Structure 1
Amino acid sequence: MYKVFVNDKPLFLTNQVVKETDFQLFLLESVDIKQIIVKMFQNKIDRAFLYHPDEKEIMHKLKEKMPVVKAGGGLVYNKNGEVLFIFRNGKWDLPKGGIEKGEAIEETAIREVEEETGVTGLKITGKLQKTYHVFKRNGRYKLKITHWYEMKTSFTGMPEGQIEEGIEKVVWMKPEEIKEALKNSYENIKLLFQEEKVIP
């Protein structure tokens, strides 16, 4: 099963039908995906399930229905075991950004972390799960697939937020501070921390 976030609300892609009553179930094959997305952005639908019998085909079917944007990002640790966070659009987030032509996704992730935070000397130490969310650009809804990597750095300078990307703050957070920050973050970011088990 995949979780795609639309306006921070979950859209589940599943090959199983569960008998519940508090959500709407649609057939992925025939659904007007834009209609569901608009309703989720308007807060008329809180969560929905898209059903397709073949699990291997589910994500492929969704990609056929909307343009896809590929991005890379990093969950970065320093020598003290602190994690690098950025603050933009009123929420705590992790550095990430879109892939450029001819770039490997790992290169994208490192480049974006460097550009958005000024932190250098990054080494990828592991691959995390991909996250999925829908956003609107130039009047079109697009599916962003972000490839996340765990990274380590021995950087000791002052991180600096990329102003043209609207980043107001860049901070290193101790594990006990992360829990509080995640209360004002995105669902996709929370998923990464559930996977990482960083929080005490």
Structure 2
Amino acid sequence: MYHIFVNDKPIILTTKDKKPKGAKSYKLKTVIMRRVIKKLNKSDIEAIYLTHHNEDKILKKFLKKLPNVIAGGGKVHNQHGEVLFIYRNDRWDLPKGKAEGKESIEDTAIREVEEETGVKNLTITKPLETTYHILKRNNRYKIKITYWFEMNTDYDGKLEPQTKEGITKAKWLNKKKMKKALKNSYANIKRLV
């Protein structure tokens, strides 16, 4: 089962035909994505289930429905046990961004964390869950696929939010502050953290 978010409402990819109350279900093979996105945005429907008989192919078939944007990001820990967050578009988020050229997704993740926060000396410790969300750019819907990595750093310098990207804050958050920040974050980030 995969969750692809449209704002904070999920499109759930599944092989099962049942759906909970407050949700709609469609066959993945015949669904028109623009209509599904509009229905999620403009109604009180809590989720949309897209069904397909083959679990091994369901994600691949879904990703062919819209252009894909590949991104990498990091859940970065410092030596004090805090996690690095950014504040952009009035929400707390983790640093991430689009892959450039032929760089590896790991290099993308490290570069984006550095650019968006100023943090250096990053080491990837393990891959995390991949997240999916639908965005609209130039009046076209796209699926953003973000590959996340857990990272560590011994960086103790000043954080520098990348203001030209709309980032107004970069902060290390302890567990208590992180819990509060996640109340004003994205569904994908809540699941990831």
| TM-score normalised by structure 2 residue count | 0.97
2:43, 2:166 → 1: CA distance?
26
Residues 106-163 of structure 1, C-alpha deviation per residue, up to 9 Å, x if partnerless? 0000000000000000000011000000000001000001000000000010111001
In the TM superposition, what is the alpha-carbon distance from 1:21 to its structure 2 partner? 3.3
Structure 2 gap segments, 5+ residues each: none
Structure 2 equivalent of residue 29 of structure 1: 29
SS at match of 1:143: strand
2:67 partner amino acid: P
Structure 1 equivalent of residue 54 of structure 2: 54
1:97 partner amino acid: G
1:171 partner amino acid: K
1:105 partner amino acid: I
1:111 and 2:104 equivalent?
Answer: no
In the TM superposition, what is the alpha-carbon distance from 1:19 to its structure 2 partner? 5.2
Residues 78-124 of structure 1, C-alpha deviation per residue, up to 9 Å, x if partnerless? 01010000001000000000001110000000000000000000000
Identity %, equivalent residues: 51
1:188 and 2:188 equivalent?
Answer: yes
In the TM superposition, what is the alpha-carbon distance from 1:46 to its structure 2 partner? 2.5
Structure 1 equivalent of residue 40 of structure 2: 40
Residues 5-50 of structure 1, C-alpha deviation per residue, up to 9 Å, x if partnerless? 0011011000112253321000000011111112222245321100
| TM-score normalised by structure 1 residue count | 0.94
Structure 1 equivalent of residue 175 of structure 2: 175
Structure 1 gap segments, 5+ residues each: 194-200
Structure 2 equivalent of residue 88 of structure 1: 88
Describe the shift of the 1:19–1:147 C-alpha distance in structure 2 as closer, same or farther (beyond 3 A). Answer: closer
Runs of 4+ in 1 over 6 A off after TM superposition: none
Identify the range of structure 1 (60-69 vs 35-44) with the bigger mean alpha-carbon deviation: 35-44
1:103 partner amino acid: E
- Residues 114-193 of structure 1: pairs in structure 2 closer than 5 A: 114-193=114-193
RMSD: 1.0
